[in-house]
A and B are shown apart, each in its own frame.
Chain A
Amino acid sequence: MNNNWMRRQRMLGYVFIGPSMLGVLLFFLIPAAYSLGLMFTDYKLMNPNVKFVGLDNIVRLLKDDMFYKSMKNTALFLLAVPVSVVLGFLVAVVLNQKIYLKKLLRGLYFMPYITSGVAVAFVWMLLFHPKQGPINGLLRSIGVDNPPGWLSTTTSSMFAIDIIWIWFLLGYNMIIYLAALQEVSQELLEAAKMDGARPGQILRSIIWPLVSPTTFLLLITGLIMTIKTFGIIQAITQGGPGSSTTILSLYVYQNAFRYYDMGYASTLSWALFIVILIITALQWVGQKRWVHY
């Protein structure tokens, strides 16, 4: 083998990553840079005279009540993540016991995650139907006289979306926890049992701390994924009633493709990026602080 051949082989690295790099350049890097530029313009689709407006869009954002409202709605939407993480943990712990039909059960809990897109959101829309839907039918039959209006009232709509989202994420969290539970030493659990620890104690004081890296990972990835989503909300409520389900990512979409206010939409989208950046920074800090092994 000569050095020339070795060098040529190393250069092949660029050939291997080349096509993929081109895609990242065309569909991520260049658009991202373009968007940064748009942030400082008043570009509207209907108005061909684009002006450089400096920081006007940022000032507008800081004074925009709807921006703050959308942040609040986003926070309410994100509540679904910790709930689904805890539920996923509990289901995983039970499925990790000696039980029958383990594989079937795992599959059933996981099904919503892989099969659902917008289609299933429409199913939920009918399940939540305030007057005739089966959910309120059930509630009435067990004696709830005034069941919630779910997607139809401004106070309950975000929570109805949260329920759909918890249902959707739960299976994924469960699957990841099931893998993490494989790593928990059985001897340790046996020893704790011998020492007379109750199941609740074992769960809280041994298993939960041991899987804390997984909990942390699921929280962060779940939050980031959730904050980028707007499809199911656009499909079933379009941000309503009123603006009660207009989360930030949907507000970006509305500004861009309903009002064609491209400059302002770009500014909002970078606010979304900053929120993601903060969550990611939390990950770096938190990994050291809150994760106990």
Chain B
Amino acid sequence: MAIKQKLSEGALTKLFITIVMLLLAVVMVIPFLWMISTSLKTPAEVFEYPIKWIPPHPTFEHHVKVWTGPKSFGTYYLNSLKIAIVGMVTATFLSAFAAYGFARISFKGRNPLFMLYLSMMMVPPQVLFVPKFLMFDWAGIYNTHWALILPGMFTIFGVFMLRQFFLTIPNEITESAFIDGAGHFRIFFRLILPLAKPALATLAIIDFSWQWNDYENALVFLIDEDLYTVPLGLQNFILENTVDYNGMMAAASAGIVPMIAVFVIGQRYIIQGLTNSAVKG
């Protein structure tokens, strides 16, 4: 009897804590809920208080406005996708390549070079904006997508993260292959890459989200509207429609909803990757 009571008391506490945490979690995601709800409302309903979470007269006209017309988000989407995907694929592959070199090959100057690598993480992007702007202008890639794609192919964080992962792969696995006469290329492509799939997926997802959300570089290196990425297009939309709050939220949804999807699908990888690189780093 006493045990039974204690058990149900435990379950009750558990339920109570769960509900409290759930309520707080809802507060965390309220900006997203409000955004989606507002994007479906009519202008008069935007600031009605108390908030009607379910739009009384749902309309898709704001989403239609964002996606059609001369400044459609379609263009921005294609630009962002192009930049983020090319950057993500190249950056992941090149990082894996370099990480293998740093983790598994003992060549002369490896450690100083790796220190140099890490020290570059301390240099803030603000130091690099002006010289990159001048260099890109000189090379003729200022105000082209190359100004985002080329630097986006390299990520110091990625090299660091994958190196940490490669160091956790037991040495015996690669050593026995090495003794059997397999070279580093074969070991890398046949053994390491397949083993590293989860880590590669993690880096790819994180890198994609960074490139997709990157506003600062696009702001500095792009001028032409037809080159704009989603964050710049969004800013432009807001500057040109200062009182169209529904439209703003429809436009913001266009920027955020794909990231929510990526997050829901890749949550496991993202959390694991960030945890590993922080705790073991």
Contacts and interface: CB of A to CB of B under 8 A. Distances in A.
B184 interface: yes
Interface in B11-55: 14-15, 17-18, 21-22, 24-26, 28-29, 31-32, 34-35, 38, 46-47, 49-51
Interface string B262-281: 11100100110011001100
Interface in A14-48: 14-17, 19-21, 23-24, 26-32, 34-35, 38
B81 interface: no
Interface stretch (B1-9, B59-67, B131-139): B131-139
B131 A123 contact: no
Interface string A92-131: 0011011111000111111110111111101110110100
A12 interface: yes
B153 interface: yes
Contacts, number: 283
Given A31-B135, A234-B219, A265 B252 contact: no
Contacts of A19: 94, 97-98
B179 to A, nearest CB: 8
Contacts of B215: 117-118, 231, 234-235
Interface in B186-240: 188, 209, 212-216, 219-220, 230-231, 234-235, 238
B164 to A, nearest CB: 14
B263 A114 contact: yes
Given A20-B97, A249-B124, A134 B51 contact: yes
A35 B131 contact: yes
A269 B21 contact: no
Interface string B144-171: 0000001101101001000000000000
Interface residues of B, number: 96
A280 interface: yes
A228 B98 contact: no
B127 A266 contact: yes
Q: For B95, B125, B178, B271, which residue has the most chain A Cβ atoms within 10 angstroms?
A: B271
A123 B35 contact: yes
A98 B31 CA distance: 28
Contact of A175 (B28, B245, B274): B274
A137 B47 contact: yes
B113 interface: yes
Given A12-B184, A21-B98, A272 B219 contact: no
Contacts of A253: 126, 129, 216, 220
B135 A13 contact: no
B259 interface: yes
A20 B95 contact: yes
A280 B120 CA distance: 13
Contacts of B123: 28, 32, 273
A276 B124 contact: yes
A30 B124 contact: no
> How large, as a class, is the contact surface on chain A?
35 or more
A203 interface: no
B17 to A, nearest CB: 5
Summarize A's interface: helix, strand, loop or mixed. Answer: helix
Nearest to A106: B271
A126 to B, nearest CB: 6
A116 B130 contact: no
Nearest to A8: B183
Given A217-B278, A266-B130, A269-B126, A13 B216 contact: no
Contacts of A175: 271, 274-275
Contacts of A1: 179, 181
A89 interface: no
B249 interface: yes
A161 interface: no
A111 B260 contact: yes
Nearest to A122: B252
B106 interface: yes
A9 B28 contact: no
A111 B95 CA distance: 26
Nearest to B179: A1
A20 B131 contact: no
Contact of B22 (A98, A105, A276): A105
Nearest to B184: A12
Contacts of A133: 47
A260 to B, nearest CB: 10
Given A228-B125, A235-B215, A21 B274 contact: no
A16 B216 contact: no
A176 B108 CA distance: 35
A224 B125 CA distance: 12
10 contacts: A20-B154, A21-B113, A34-B135, A94-B17, A123-B249, A123-B252, A230-B216, A257-B133, A272-B124, A273-B127
Q: Nearest 9 CB-CB pairs, A to B? A: A117-B213, A16-B101, A13-B107, A23-B154, A119-B255, A20-B98, A132-B47, A137-B49, A34-B131
Given A122-B238, A269-B129, 8 more contacts: A10-B106, A12-B101, A97-B14, A105-B21, A108-B25, A126-B38, A268-B126, A272-B126
